């Protein structure tokens, strides 16, 4: 299930990230791609060890932690280090892009070597959508093709099992943060049921306040999570 989480970063936080990223030491993005993905990838990324990457990934992790929706939407068990990429135009004015690919199933954390199974892929948009041409994230999921270009500071989560691409950026610069989540609930289908149930319970509470039925459904939610979560 594809999920849009609004305002993970406030406008002021987005500006702070943009200011740090503008003069950052960008390098060829192919270094971190799998063999198939490297053939279709043309963008730039921040090296893992650079100061800006260190500062900003801590900043993003804190923002995710305090957002009321992130935990329920992803049920995270492990999170693979947030990274940063930039799509603009190459020196010869060629638009940068990332063609159709699927993310590697297993990632090894650069610091610890810890394995992370990629259940959910995440993109946090960092550029104002009006400031660049193209650069849509296109996700092929079970419901068809989704074209995503969100406000700066907004996050999209989508199943890592989906083929996806970033369309050529023909003008301006597209900055983003991306990462992967190993979820306590591996199945996208089960996660989707839990999210739907959670959202419905919240809506019931908003409409009718606390009721015995809302309490009972909350119990059902947690009992399902107990059945399905691998914590």
Nearer to Ni ion, 15 or 99 (CB): 99
- Enumerate binding residues for Ni ion (CB under 5 A): 103
Distance CA 133, CA 88 (A): 9
Q: How far apart are CA 88 and CA 12, in angstroms?
A: 23
| E strand spans, 46-172 | 76-87, 96-101, 106-108, 115-117, 120-125, 132-134, 137-141, 144-148, 155-159, 163-172
- For residue 4, CA distances in Å to 27, 63, 73, 79, 201 come to 29, 15, 9, 18, 19
Phi-psi region of 183 (alpha: psi -120 to 50; beta: other; left: phi over 0): beta
Q: Least separation, in Å, of the C-beta of 129 and Ni ion?
A: 19
Q: In angstroms, what is the minimal distance from the CB of 197 to Ni ion?
A: 29
Closer CB to Ni ion, residue 103 or residue 154?
103
* Residue with Cβ nearer Ni ion (148 or 229): 148
| Closer of 103 and 188 to Ni ion (Cβ) | 103
**Token digits for 45?**
């990324």
**Closest residue (Cβ) to Ni ion?**
103
**Residue owning tokens 């921040």:** 46
User: CB 164 → Ni ion: shortest distance, Å?
Assistant: 6
Q: C-beta of 113: minimal distance to Ni ion in Å?
A: 22
Nearer Cβ to Ni ion, position 132 or 180?
180
Instruction: Compute the least distance from the CB of residue 136 to Ni ion, in Å.
Output: 14
Handedness of CA 94, 96, 97, 103 (dihedral sign): positive
């Amino acid at each position: 299930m594809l999920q849009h989480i609004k305002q993970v970063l406030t406008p002021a936080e987005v500006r702070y990230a943009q200011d740090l990223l503008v003069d950052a030491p960008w390098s060829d993005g192919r270094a971190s791609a799998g063999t198939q993905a490297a053939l279709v990838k043309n963008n730039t990324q921040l090296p893992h060890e650079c100061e800006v990457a260190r500062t900003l990934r801590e900043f993003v992790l804190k923002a995710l932690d305090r957002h009321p929706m992130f935990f329920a939407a992803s049920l995270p068990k492990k999170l693979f280090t947030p990274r940063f990429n930039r799509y603009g135009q190459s020196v010869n004015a060629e638009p940068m892009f990332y063609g159709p690919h699927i993310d590697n199933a297993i990632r090894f954390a650069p610091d610890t070597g810890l394995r992370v199974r990629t259940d959910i892929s995440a993109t946090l948009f960092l550029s104002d959508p009006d400031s660049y041409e193209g650069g849509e994230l296109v996700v092929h999921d079970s419901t068809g093709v989704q074209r995503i270009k969100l406000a700066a500071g907004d996050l999209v989560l989508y199943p890592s099992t989906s083929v996806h691409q970033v369309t050529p950026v023909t003008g301006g610069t597209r900055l983003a943060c991306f990462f992967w989540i190993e979820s306590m609930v591996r199945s996208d289908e089960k996660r989707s049921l839990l999210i739907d149930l959670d959202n419905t319970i919240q809506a019931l509470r908003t409409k009718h306040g606390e009721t015995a039925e809302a309490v009972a459904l909350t119990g059902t939610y947690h009992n399902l999570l107990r059945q399905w979560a691998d914590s």
